[in-house]
Chains A and B, each alone.
Chain A
Amino acid sequence: MIGSSRWGLAALTWAIIAVILILPPVLVMTEALRNGAGAPIASLADPDALSAIRLTLVMTALSVLINTIFGVLAAWVISKYRFPLRGFLVALIELPISVSPVVAGLVWLLLFGTQGWWGEALDRMNIHIAFAAPGILLATLFVTFPYVTRTIAPLMEQQGRDAEEAAMLLGASFFQILWRVTLPEARWALLSGVLLTTARAMGEFGAVSVVSGHIPGMTETMPLHIETLYNGYQTVAAFSMAALLALMAMATVGLRSLLEARARASLQTKDTAP
Chain B
Amino acid sequence: MTVAASLRSRRARDPLPGFRLALGGTLLWVGLIVALPLTALIVRPWQEGPSAMLAALHDGRMFAALRVSFTTALLAALIDVPLGLTLAWALVRGRLPGRRIADGLIDLPFAIPTAVTGITLATLYGPQGWLGAPLAKLGLSIAYSATGIVVALMFVGLPFIVRSVEPVLRDLPPELEEAAGLLGARPWQTVWRVILPTLLPAAVSGFGLAFARGIGEYGSVIFIAGNQPYHSEIAPLLVVVRLQEYDYAGATSIAFVLLVISSLCLAAVAWLRRRVARGLIVGADE
Contact = CB atoms under 8 A, between A and B. Distances in A.
Interface of A: 2, 5-6, 9-10, 12-14, 16-17, 19-25, 27-28, 31, 70, 73-74, 76-78, 80-81, 83, 89, 92-93, 95-103, 106-111, 113-117, 138, 141-142, 145, 161, 164-165, 168-169, 173-175, 177-178, 199, 202-206, 209-210, 223-224, 226-227, 230, 235, 238-239, 242, 245-246, 249-250, 252-254, 257
Nearest to A111: B40
Nearest to B21: A174
Interface stretch (B52-60, B113-121, B172-180, B194-202): B113-121
Contact of B86 (A12, A21, A74, A165): A12
Contacts of B87: 13, 16-17
B36 to A, nearest CB: 7
Interface residues on B, range: 35 or more
B155 A27 contact: no
Interface string B1-41: 00100110011000111110111011111100111111011
A81 B11 CA distance: 11
Given A206-B219, A210-B243, A100 B255 contact: yes
Interface string B239-266: 1100100101001100100110011011
A99 B96 contact: no
Contacts of A109: 243, 248
* Residue of B35, B44, B187 most packed against chain A (CB within 10 A): B44
B119 A100 contact: no
17 contacts: A12-B90, A22-B105, A93-B30, A98-B212, A98-B265, A98-B266, A100-B218, A106-B243, A106-B255, A107-B38, A109-B248, A161-B16, A203-B112, A203-B115, A205-B114, A246-B112, A257-B107
A168 B205 CA distance: 41
* Residue of A14, A73, A100, A242 most packed against chain B (CB within 10 A): A100
Given A80-B16, A97-B266, A116-B40, 5 more contacts: A103-B216, A106-B239, A109-B243, A174-B21, A223-B115
B41 A110 contact: yes
B94 interface: yes
Contact of B119 (A22, A73, A226): A226
The 8 closest A-B pairs by CB, nearest first: A100-B216, A203-B113, A174-B18, A107-B37, A205-B219, A206-B218, A70-B29, A253-B111
A246 B120 CA distance: 11
Contact of A107 (B41, B158, B218): B41
B110 A100 contact: no
Interface string B86-129: 11011000111110001011111111111111111101100000
B117 A77 contact: no
B170 to A, nearest CB: 12
B225 interface: no
A31 B243 contact: no
A223 B30 contact: no
A198 to B, nearest CB: 11
Nearest to B122: A230
A199 B259 CA distance: 24
B207 interface: no
B25 A73 contact: yes
Contacts of A80: 16
Contact of B259 (A81, A103, A108): A103
A101 B21 contact: no
A223 B219 contact: yes
B248 A110 contact: yes
Contact of A77 (B26, B105, B131): B26
A81 B105 contact: no
Contacts of B102: 13-14, 17
B236 A103 contact: yes
Given A17-B105, A106-B41, A10 B26 contact: no
B271 to A, nearest CB: 13
Given A101-B216, A102-B239, A111 B107 contact: no
Nearest to A107: B37
B116 A21 contact: no
B48 to A, nearest CB: 11
A99 B248 contact: no
Nearest to B106: A21
Given A9-B94, A89-B30, A141-B33, A245 B113 contact: yes
A271 B193 CA distance: 35
B123 A206 contact: no
A145 B130 contact: no
Nearest to B121: A24
B41 A100 contact: no
A199 B90 CA distance: 28
A141 to B, nearest CB: 5
B115 A100 contact: no
Contacts of A107: 37-38, 40-41, 255
Contact of A16 (B83, B108, B258, B266): B83
Contact of A100 (B18, B108, B217): B217
Contacts of B41: 103, 106-107, 110
A203 B96 CA distance: 32
